[in-house]
Amino acid sequence: MDTPRPHPSGSLAQLHLIDEEKKFSQELSTYVDQKWNLKDAGFNYNVLAVFGSQSTGKSTLLNRLFGTQFDVMSESSRQQTTKGIWISKGKDMKVLIMDVEGTDGRERGEDQDFERKSALFSLATSEVLIVNMWEHQVGLYNGANMGLLKTVFEVNLQLFGSNRGKEKTLLLFVIRDHVGATPLANLSNTLKADLDRIWQGLSKPEGLENCKILDYFDFSFTTLAHKLLQPERFEEEVALLRQRFIEPSNPDYVFKPQYSKRVPADGLHVYAEAIWEKIVTNKDLDLPTQQELLAQFRCDEIANLAFVTFKDSIRDFRHPIESGQLVENLGPKMREIRDVAIKSFVKDASRYHAEVYKRKHAEVLTKANSMLESFFVGQLKNLHKKAVSQFSSELQQALKKDGAEFGAVSATAKDNATAFFLQGAAAIKLEETDWEYEEEQFQLEQDLQEFAATQREKELSKMLTGLEKQIKKDLEDPIKLALDHPGPGMWGRVITTYHHTMSRAEELLHKKARTFELGQEEQQTLEENLRRQGWVLLTMKVQEESVDGLLLYKLLNRFEEKFQRDERGLPRVWKPDDDIDTPFRKARDETLELIPLYAKIKALDPTTGEEFSLESTDDFDFDQSLRVLSETRQQELTTQLKRKTDASFVEAKRSVVSTQVKVPYWVGVALIILGWNEFMAILMNPLYLSLTLMLGLPFGILWYLDLLPLVQRIGWKAYDQAMEFGREKLRDVVHSSEPVLVRAPQQRILEEEQGRPQDFLHRHSARSLSSHGHERGDTRDDGEGLEMSSFEDKKNL
């Protein structure tokens, strides 16, 4: 009958590791960790097992030796107490002791199965096997103990056969109730002989036929006095024996390194359970494989634990890097996090199977590196972006300074940006990684080059636009001036202006060429383009100055200059006997001769006097650009000019007629006599006198300065404007009441005006001129249109 055991707690807690049903306890890990505090012991602990027949005082011995509290059979019941395997930790020592069910078969009948399995398990896990036996059992070759030892040897061969000489176990024979009659030496010799005989009788695996027992076992023998008969001696000998378990300096210290099964304390539960699992299921038990499996399992567990902290630590990097920011000190931070993880792995995993550990160490490093690599890559990208933006702002800033040379400035900015990138990249490259940043560096350099080229293009185009503006400005006034004073040297002045302007622009371009490091060819192309562009600007200005009204104005101006002013440049007042026809014809013919002059630009080189030209391109035809006026326009201008000059001629004639009217002298005498009284009345009356002076004085001055015709013309003009205004008003009133009939002619005129301005002006002027004679007999009429009035206005001003 089983009696329930009172379980001790704390460090002396014992665990029923394998129960009667051969079930392995799931609590070993908890006991190792929490009750025995061996979690961090690594290899710094030992395991032993005790074997022997039932009720031979095994538990009593263990309790005495190690301070454990294994159940001891009561003297009266003589019933087996230890069933299965119990395990406990020695008091104040890092030794795990397994109390194995005693052999005999009395309680289990003929079930030798458990005996074999427990022997196998003990050999696989323990460094020392204590074989407990009574003195009187020594030499009983056929006794229960010998059967047990035969089993132990057999399973040992099964386990460590191939590890001959490498894996050894110590068999410590404790001979109990030694009375002293037979010395220990004799007893041990007897036992050795028995053991040897057993060994010889074993059927050994192939290839191990000649192996020796000492290839696998070390033997040690000791005796203990009778516990009941010689209690004091018993205690003394137990105390001495205890020293062999706790004192490494003791020459008979039992836990020699060669017996270690190399199972770290934190992996014991995995290892022991796996071993038992194999044993119970009768599978081949291969300890090296088991140790490797254990190492793999534990290394993975340890690595996973290390990675929990690792992942936590790197979480903060993700957001800033993904949002394009640079993480300060990323390299040192990553290095520290990785080191912590590796150290934590190494601390616990390095105790396991060396090969497996080495492999797992590499795996952990690779995994940590690959998890960090995304940050390395992200940071590289951000460094790249930052370097480009730094390059851009440095370049733009530097280009704002006077005299900045693009090539030098861009090279410095590029060096700075590349150095910034390389410094940042080197700082985040960790040791023991295959991380590279050469590709990114190459890409960066390409980007910087591309950016610099684009920037150079922009700056160059900005500079060219500036030059064009300058050219336009430089051409504007001189060309206007030259065209305002037509004559044989007109185009010469225009071309000279062009050449001067272009040489100034080219000089500037040369200066800038150094800044932009322009090549010979590029510079030449730019110069050619600039010359062409300058020429286009020139022709545009010429065209602008030659629009219909403006050119007509210039020509009429020229005509007026010739016709209305004398040789000294004074205005002419035509007298009755003056010849108006000849100066008129001369002035008109000279003016008409100017039209063909205006019609085409005469491109003569001012220095050589030879014709020059610019190379034509797809969108630039030099010959075409020389043409200012078409044949049709020339004819139109001729007609218009003739009409206008005719008007001037008529006006000159009319002014002669008006000055021809003379008052006879007697009319003056008659006026004085008849109006004497009125004359005196005016002189005597201050009001009349002041009125007469106010009106008469300006009139007299105008008459004296010969400005009366001018005032008269202004008067007529004002009258014309007033009439036109009145007519417009009247038309509006009439149109609003008869929209279709009355508006039609006006509408047609407007359409003509919009569609064909030249024809309109021509017809309109013709109509005006013909109506002018009928209405007032002078050159002014409402049909002269805007062109004539503006011409008149300008002239008068």
Ligand X SMILES: Nc1nc2c(ncn2[C@@H]2O[C@H](COP(=O)(O)OP(=O)(O)OP(=O)(O)O)[C@@H](O)[C@H]2O)c(=O)[nH]1
Q: Tell me the C-alpha distance between 470 and 467, whole Å.
A: 5
- The reply to whether 177 sits near ligand X by the rule CB under 6 A is yes
- The reply to whether 73 sits near ligand X by the rule CB under 6 A is yes
Q: Tell me the C-alpha distance between 112 and 189, whole Å.
A: 28
- The reply to whether 367 sits near ligand X by the rule CB under 6 A is no
Q: Tell me the C-alpha distance between 338 and 433, whole Å.
A: 12
* Smallest distance from ligand X to CB 58, Å: 4
- The reply to whether 59 sits near ligand X by the rule CB under 6 A is yes
- Binding residue (CB under 6 A) for ligand X from 25, 55, 169, 546: 55
* Smallest distance from ligand X to CB 283, Å: 29
What contacts 351, CB < 8 A, 6 or more positions away? 42, 43, 262, 264, 267, 357
Residue linked to tokens 């336009």: 472
Q: Is 420 exposed, middle or buried (0-12, 13-18, 19+ CB in 10 A)?
A: middle
Q: Tell me the C-alpha distance between 388 and 403, whole Å.
A: 24
User: Is 717 annotated to bind ligand?
Assistant: no
Contact 29, 269 (CB under 8 A): yes
**Helical segments of 401-519, H only:** 406-428, 438-484, 490-515
- Binding segment for ligand X (CB under 6 A), chosen from 27-35, 55-63, 506-514, 711-719, is 55-63
User: Is 575 annotated to bind ligand?
Assistant: no
- Binding residue (CB under 6 A) for ligand X from 91, 94, 108, 227: 227
Nearer to ligand X, 82 or 410 (CB): 82
Contact 762, 753 (CB under 8 A): no
- Binding residue (CB under 6 A) for ligand X from 39, 226, 499, 633: 226
Nearer to ligand X, 135 or 459 (CB): 135
- The reply to whether 232 sits near ligand X by the rule CB under 6 A is no
- Binding residue (CB under 6 A) for ligand X from 46, 82, 125, 379: 82
Contact 648, 769 (CB under 8 A): no
Nearer to ligand X, 103 or 188 (CB): 103
- Binding segment for ligand X (CB under 6 A), chosen from 52-60, 117-125, 163-171, 627-635, is 52-60
* Smallest distance from ligand X to CB 235, Å: 11
Q: Tell me the C-alpha distance between 792 and 783, whole Å.
A: 14
- Binding segment for ligand X (CB under 6 A), chosen from 79-87, 310-318, 668-676, 710-718, is 79-87
- The reply to whether 176 sits near ligand X by the rule CB under 6 A is yes
Nearer to ligand X, 60 or 533 (CB): 60
* Smallest distance from ligand X to CB 72, Å: 4
326: left (phi over 0), alpha (psi -120 to 50) or beta: beta
- Binding residue (CB under 6 A) for ligand X from 1, 181, 185, 228: 228
- The reply to whether 1 sits near ligand X by the rule CB under 6 A is no
Q: Tell me the C-alpha distance between 281 and 264, whole Å.
A: 25
- The reply to whether 84 sits near ligand X by the rule CB under 6 A is no
User: Is 200 annotated to bind ligand?
Assistant: no
* Smallest distance from ligand X to CB 55, Å: 4
Nearer to ligand X, 60 or 169 (CB): 60
- Binding segment for ligand X (CB under 6 A), chosen from 51-59, 428-436, 592-600, 658-666, is 51-59
Contact 489, 463 (CB under 8 A): no
- The reply to whether 54 sits near ligand X by the rule CB under 6 A is yes
Nearer to ligand X, 54 or 768 (CB): 54
- Binding segment for ligand X (CB under 6 A), chosen from 26-34, 223-231, 538-546, 646-654, is 223-231
Q: Tell me the C-alpha distance between 573 and 378, whole Å.
A: 93
Q: Look up residue 397 and give its two tokens.
A: 């800033």
Nearer to ligand X, 84 or 486 (CB): 84
Nearer to ligand X, 237 or 787 (CB): 237
* Smallest distance from ligand X to CB 99, Å: 7
Amino acid at 398: A
- What interhelical angle do 438-484 and 354-400 show, nearest 10? 10
Q: Which of residues 416-455 bind ligand X (CB under 6 A)?
A: none
Of 786, 787, 752, the closest CA to residue 549 belongs to 787
**Helical segments of 627-675, H only:** 631-660, 665-674
- Binding residue (CB under 6 A) for ligand X from 90, 102, 331, 378: 102
Taking CB positions, which residue lies at the least distance from ligand X? 57
User: Is 58 annotated to bind ligand?
Assistant: yes
Q: Tell me the C-alpha distance between 323 and 462, whole Å.
A: 35
Nearer to ligand X, 64 or 353 (CB): 64
* Smallest distance from ligand X to CB 3, Å: 12
* Smallest distance from ligand X to CB 157, Å: 26
User: Is 55 annotated to bind ligand?
Assistant: yes
User: Is 53 annotated to bind ligand?
Assistant: yes
Q: Look up residue 221 and give its two tokens.
A: 């023998």
Q: What is the H or E stretch that residue 51 is in?
A: strand 46-52
Q: Is 626 exposed, middle or buried (0-12, 13-18, 19+ CB in 10 A)?
A: middle
- The reply to whether 46 sits near ligand X by the rule CB under 6 A is no
* Smallest distance from ligand X to CB 293, Å: 33
- Binding segment for ligand X (CB under 6 A), chosen from 70-78, 195-203, 615-623, 777-785, is 70-78
Nearer to ligand X, 176 or 531 (CB): 176
- The reply to whether 378 sits near ligand X by the rule CB under 6 A is no
DSSP state of 174: E
Nearer to ligand X, 85 or 471 (CB): 85
User: Is 54 annotated to bind ligand?
Assistant: yes
* Smallest distance from ligand X to CB 134, Å: 8
Q: Report how many residues bind ligand X under the rule CB under 6 A.
A: 19
Contact 404, 515 (CB under 8 A): yes
Q: What is the H or E stretch that residue 175 is in?
A: strand 169-176
- Sign of the torsion angle spanned by Cα atoms 32, 34, 39, 44: negative
Backbone phi and psi for residue 221, each to the nearest 5 degrees, phi listed first: -130, 140
* Smallest distance from ligand X to CB 190, Å: 20
- Binding segment for ligand X (CB under 6 A), chosen from 54-62, 252-260, 347-355, 420-428, is 54-62
Which of 352-357's residues contact partners 24+ apart within 8 Å by CB, and which partners?
352/264, 352/267, 352/291, 352/294, 352/295, 352/298, 352/299, 353/262, 353/291, 353/292, 353/294, 353/295, 355/292, 356/292, 356/295, 356/296, 356/299, 357/295, 357/299
Q: Look up residue 56 and give its two tokens.
A: 């031979």
Of 406, 416, 428, 430, the closest CA to residue 386 belongs to 416
- The reply to whether 60 sits near ligand X by the rule CB under 6 A is yes
Q: Look up residue 18 and give its two tokens.
A: 């394998």
* Smallest distance from ligand X to CB 230, Å: 9
- Binding residue (CB under 6 A) for ligand X from 2, 21, 75, 328: 75
Contact 766, 643 (CB under 8 A): yes
* Smallest distance from ligand X to CB 57, Å: 3
- Binding residue (CB under 6 A) for ligand X from 25, 46, 56, 533: 56
- Binding segment for ligand X (CB under 6 A), chosen from 224-232, 320-328, 443-451, 546-554, is 224-232
The binding site for ligand X (CB under 6 A) comprises 54-60, 72-73, 75, 80-82, 102, 176-177, 226-228
Binding-site members for GTP are 52-59
Binding-site members are 52-59
